[in-house]
Chains A and B, each alone.
Chain A
Amino acid sequence: MKVNMKGTLLSFMGLGAILLAGCNDKLAVLDPKGPQAQRQADDTMLLIYLMSGIVLTVLAILVFMLFKYRASKQSPDYEPPHIHGHWLVETFMIGIPVIIVIFLSFVSVKSNYIVENVPQEYEDQEPLVIYASSSNWKWHFSYPEQGIETVNYLYIPAGRAIEFKLYSYGPITSFWIPQLGGQKYAMADMVTTLHLAADNPGEFWGRNANFSGRGTAENIFDVTALTQTEFDEWVSDVHETAAPLTEEKFDELLEPGHLGKQTYTGTHLEFSPAPEHNHDESSEEEVEEDHSSH
Chain B
Amino acid sequence: MSEFFAQFAVPHPSTLIYIAMASIVLGSIALVAIVTYFKLWGYLWREWITTVDHKKIGIMYLITALVMLFRGGVDAVMMRLQLAVPENGFLDAQHYNEVFTTHGVVMILFMAMPFITFFFNFLVPLQIGARDVAFPRLNNLAFWLFFMGMGLFNISFIVGGSPDAGWTSYFPLADNEFSTSVGTNYYMLALQIAGLGTLMTGINFITTIFKMRAPGMTLFKMPMFTWSALIANLIIVFAFPVLTVALAMGTMDRLWDTKFFAIGDGGMDMLWANLFWVWGHPEVYILILPAFGIFSEVISTFARRNLYGYTSMVWSLIVISVFSFAVWTHHFFTMGQGAFTNSIFSITTMAIAIPTGVKIFNWLFTLYKGKIVITTPMLYAMHFIPLFTLGGVTGVMLAMSAADYQYHNTMFLVAHFHNVIIPGVVYAMLAGLTFYWPKMFGFMLNERLGKATVWVMSFGFVLSFIPMYITGLDGQARRMYTYSEASGFSTLNMVSFVGAGIMSISFLMLVWNIWYSFKNSPRDIGSDPWDARGLEWATHTPIPHYNFAITPDVTDSTSEAFWDAKKNGTKLFKGEIQDIHMPNNSGQTFILSIFFFIGGFALVFSMFTLAIISLIGILACMGYRSLEDDHGYHIHKEEVELIEKKYDKEGGAK
Contacts and interface: CB of A to CB of B under 8 A. Distances in A.
Interface of A: 1, 4, 7-8, 11-12, 15, 18-19, 22, 27-30, 37, 39-41, 43-44, 47-48, 51, 54-55, 58-59, 61-62, 65-66, 69-71, 74, 78-85, 89-90, 93-94, 97-98, 101, 104-105, 107-109, 111-117, 136, 166, 170-172, 174, 176, 178, 181-185, 187-190, 192-193, 205, 207, 209-217, 279-282
Interface in B630-644: none
B386 A55 contact: yes
Interface in B31-56: none
23 contacts: A27-B470, A39-B402, A41-B406, A54-B389, A61-B364, A65-B370, A66-B367, A69-B367, A81-B305, A94-B358, A101-B347, A111-B401, A111-B402, A136-B178, A171-B178, A181-B406, A183-B405, A184-B334, A216-B480, A217-B93, A280-B336, A280-B338, A281-B340
A171 B185 CA distance: 18
B406 A178 contact: yes
B360 interface: yes
Contacts of A101: 347, 350-351, 353-354
A189 B267 contact: yes
Interface residues of B, number: 97
A205 B382 CA distance: 42
A71 B478 CA distance: 45
B82 to A, nearest CB: 11
A201 B268 CA distance: 39
Contacts of B362: 93
A65 B364 contact: yes
B303 interface: yes
Given A55-B386, A74-B371, 18 more contacts: A4-B374, A47-B400, A59-B389, A69-B368, A85-B311, A94-B354, A101-B350, A108-B399, A172-B173, A174-B334, A181-B405, A183-B408, A184-B335, A184-B405, A189-B267, A209-B410, A209-B477, A211-B409
Contacts of A114: 402
Contact of B347 (A54, A108, A178): A108
Given A69-B370, A189-B269, A109 B346 contact: yes
Contacts of A58: 360, 364, 385-386, 389
B593 to A, nearest CB: 33
Contacts of A55: 386, 389-390, 393
B304 A40 contact: no
A140 B14 CA distance: 34
A141 to B, nearest CB: 18
Nearest to A107: B400
B578 to A, nearest CB: 34
Nearest to A95: B354
Interface string B344-370: 001100110110011011101101111
A83 to B, nearest CB: 6
A182 B364 contact: no
B306 interface: yes
Contacts of B459: 11
